[in-house]
Amino acid sequence: MTNTSQKTLNPEIAPPQGPTPWWNRGIFHQDHPIGKWFHKLFGSWLYSKQTVTESTLFLYNRAMIDIRLLGKNAEIIDNEKFGKEEFLIFVKLKYLLRKNVDEYANLEDSIQLLQLAIDAKDSFIAIYQTELSFRGSKQQDFYQHVESLLKDYENTEVFRDNVQVSLTESLNQIKTEEGRVALQAYSQHLNRLSERDLGLKLLSLFKAYQMGDYSILKRISDIIQSLDKTDLQSYNTLMSLVMANYDAFEKIRKIINLPQEKSNPDIYCRMMQYIALNYRYGLSFMKFDELMGVLRRWYRPYQTIIAIREAHPPHQFQQPLAFQEPILGEATYFKYLKWLTDKKTGMVYVDFDSEEE
């Protein structure tokens, strides 16, 4: 997580002004009799101000052009639902997983595999039922060939092509229409799995660990669905569900590549919380992520504007009118900086200064 050490023009947290110049303190103050004479005699020299250079104004105006465009885009994308406490928790969990922080270190891949398994449970169950119900020699030859392809396929296209070749050969040798239909449906489910990232890897893991009964996926999926109206900020409900179905999570641990040392109720609660929040806010997060991308691009010219204004204070420089112009998007930036900053630690759950888009 990042510290909130970013420069800012927010009046609530702006740094204090510099010390009063020596010529305006003590007996030299303009209200002191000696000060009045001093300022009358030397005032024009003391208060002469520099002008901002043309090259600096060029950089400043170019940054302001970018700020106006990006700030306007940020305000358009911004949505009040992004301020919901549950949604912000989901945003923070995304950050912790991506950064491998604390309890979420090395957990992202296992969560992705578990969610994929839940999403594709119908295909896994259909594959299992077909292998169980249609046991002819030609069908079994086809199943074994698919399993061998899963062990060393180069890419999903090559895998699909090889499956299609094997399927054509098998269909010509199967006598019953029911058997041919079942095998075609089987290959269609393989194709669907191959369209998903990690889909074939997950199927190969199920077969490698000889976990043929994919009904365990339906059991875990039902648990997730039962959380549809649940307050996901609290661990109480999650923990009771995990404890009641702990054997199911233990059975799937190897399939989702979860290390033995991470196999405990707390980790499974965190995984369930994230997946349930992802189902609830996944689409909203896509727009939020777009907003953060705009703010990251916005932050670069914003830093330029801050640096130029701070380097040219009004007591030393003649201020161009452009220096007084409001910075579009600043309110949106400070809103999320506040929302995504931990009040206790001062850590920020988003990288505004990151290069990622």
Q: How far apart are CA 135 and CA 133, in angstroms?
A: 6
> DSSP string covering 9-78, please?
--TTTPPPPPPPPGGGSGGGSTTSHHHHHHHHHHHHHHT--EEPPHHHHHHHHHHHHHHHHHHHHHHHH-
pLDDT tens string for the chain (357 positions)? 444 444 444 434 333 344 555 445 566 565 666 666 655 655 555 557 899 999 999 999 999 999 999 999 999 999 999 999 999 999 999 999 999 998 899 999 999 999 999 999 999 999 999 999 999 999 999 999 999 999 887 789 999 999 999 999 999 999 899 999 999 999 999 999 999 878 999 999 888 887 766 888 899 999 999 998 899 988 888 999 999 999 999 999 999 999 999 999 999 999 999 999 999 999 999 999 999 999 999 999 999 999 999 999 988 898 899 999 999 999 999 999 999 999 999 899 999 987 654
> Of 304, 350, 298, 356, which is closest to residue 76 (Cα–Cα)?
298
The 3-state DSSP class for residue 233 equals coil
Q: Considering the entire predicted model, what is its pTM? A: 0.81
Token pair 């250079």 is at which residue?
53
Q: How far apart are CA 220 and CA 229, in angstroms?
A: 17
Could you tell me if 346 and 13 are in contact, meaning their C-beta atoms sit under 8 angstroms apart? no
pLDDT of residue 208: 85
pLDDT of residue 15: 38
